[in-house]
Amino acid sequence: MMSLLVRDLRLAFRAGGGFGLGLAFFLLVAVLVPLGVGPEGSTLAKIAPGILWVGALLACLLSLDRIFALDFEDGSLDLLATSPIPMEGVVAVKALAHWLVTGLALTLVSPVLGVLMNLPPAGFFWLVASLLAGTPALSVIGAFGAALTVGVKRGGLLLSLLVLPLYVPTLIFGAEVVKRGAQGAEVGTPLLLLAGITAGSVALLPFAAAAAIRVNLR
Amino acid sequence: MELVVTDLAVERGGLTVLERLSFRLAAGEALILRGPNGVGKTTLLRTLAGLQPAVQGTISLPAESLTYGAHADGLKAVLTVRENLEFWAAIHGGGDVARAMADMNLTDLADRRAANLSAGQKRRLGLARLLVTGRPIWVLDEPTVSLDQASVALFGAVVRAHLTGGGMALLATHIDLGLPEARVLDLGPFRATSPQISSGRGFDEAFA
């Protein structure tokens, strides 16, 4: 399974891979929103948690259809299905690889973008913490959506429509953590709910995604 | 070790394409599947590989003993020949990559990206993958597409070495691989006589 992770990361970082796409999108959102909203710091500070989380979510969504579609097109998915690795393991590893190149990368650059969005100083720690707790759920839910639509031509649109409603709870609680953190309020409840969504999705969705892939491979 | 197929029926797109198919393959044997386009060769091979369920009948083979070679080679264009093979070797618990490259005449291309290979070279790389899996049963769908004569002979020799080592091979092919000992199975007589629509199960069985 380690070799699958290494291969996926290598593919993402080589030319034509997905790395950088999500990051660039996230950066664009954080640069363009202040230009569009205007220079009033108080307005920006107020919308910063929501915008940063929406940006992170959409950046994650951008690269979802690559999780299985490329392997399906070149036949690797058939070969992985007959390999000793269980399909659940394949899904989990691919979701992990997706998180490492998008979710984790977004989390690491988010403080810089927080500055652009005039996020109050107290919010920076909670921005990183909430992204760290919430983005794994985005990758796993996305992998599930990608598994459902693998083999569908131009499945990207269908994938977005399937996945976006499932992303809503993560978005709400993630942005709530940052908002409360920035105001210096109690963040325990939304952070726990956010972590709970992540833990639940990581535990359950690989099985659902593997079942969907088996059906789609026929 | 033995591959036994009993009274098998397979379907494609909800239509049964082959039925009443029975054969048995012992260690060291090769079976060549023949039949016109659309008779169901690929469907049969995918069913044997476990990628789709059989409509009826049984397939008995030892667990984790089969590797499938499809029309698509499962290569990553941005990885080199060696990296592609090392990946499949690692997935299957470590085969001998250097020997597989030597057997399929790929050693000189080891550090070239798969994107820069010709169609025939890609095919040779796809076939070299079989060697690094270490699996005894090879199920191959048109393995010689885009290979030149020399490469076909090379592949024939590789298959023969595999059989001599106690392996098995099931090949759907139209051309002569130079394997006179291989049995030939014509799928024509097993074509389903009354193609009926089987129940569209789709995703439902994921919830069963």
- The predicted model gives B73-102 an average pLDDT of 88
Per-residue pLDDT at B2: 87
Q: Which residue has the higher pLDDT, B198 or A142?
A: A142
Kindly list the distances between the CA atom of residue B177 and the CA atoms of A73, B39, B160, B173, in Å, as whole numbers in the listed order. Answer: 28, 21, 10, 9
Per-residue pLDDT at B187: 86
Strand order in the sheet with B2-12: B15-26, B2-12, B56-60
Per-residue pLDDT at B199: 53
Per-residue pLDDT at B72: 86
Per-residue pLDDT at A52: 93
Give the domain ranges of chain A: 2-217
Per-residue pLDDT at A91: 95
Q: How far is B88 from chain A (nearest CA, A)?
A: 9
pLDDT, tens digit, for every residue of A82-116?
888 899 999 999 999 999 999 999 999 999 999 98
Residue B94 pLDDT more than 80? no
- Backbone phi, then psi, for A152, in 5-degree steps? -85, 125
- Taking CB atoms and an 8 Å cut-off, how many pairs form between chains A and B? 81
Which stretches of chain B sit within 8 Å of chain A by CB?
A: 46, 49-53, 64, 66-68, 70-79, 83, 86-88, 90-93, 129, 133, 202-203, 205-206
The percent of residues above 70 in pLDDT, for chain A, comes to: 98
Supply the pTM of this predicted model. 0.89
Per-residue pLDDT at B40: 87
Q: Model confidence at A200, in pLDDT bands (50, 70, 90)?
A: very high
Distance CA B46, CA B65 (A): 15
Give contacts of A 48-77 with B, CB under 8 A.
71, 73-76
The percent of residues above 70 in pLDDT, for chain B, comes to: 93
- The predicted model gives A122-134 an average pLDDT of 93
Q: Model confidence at B192, in pLDDT bands (50, 70, 90)?
A: confident
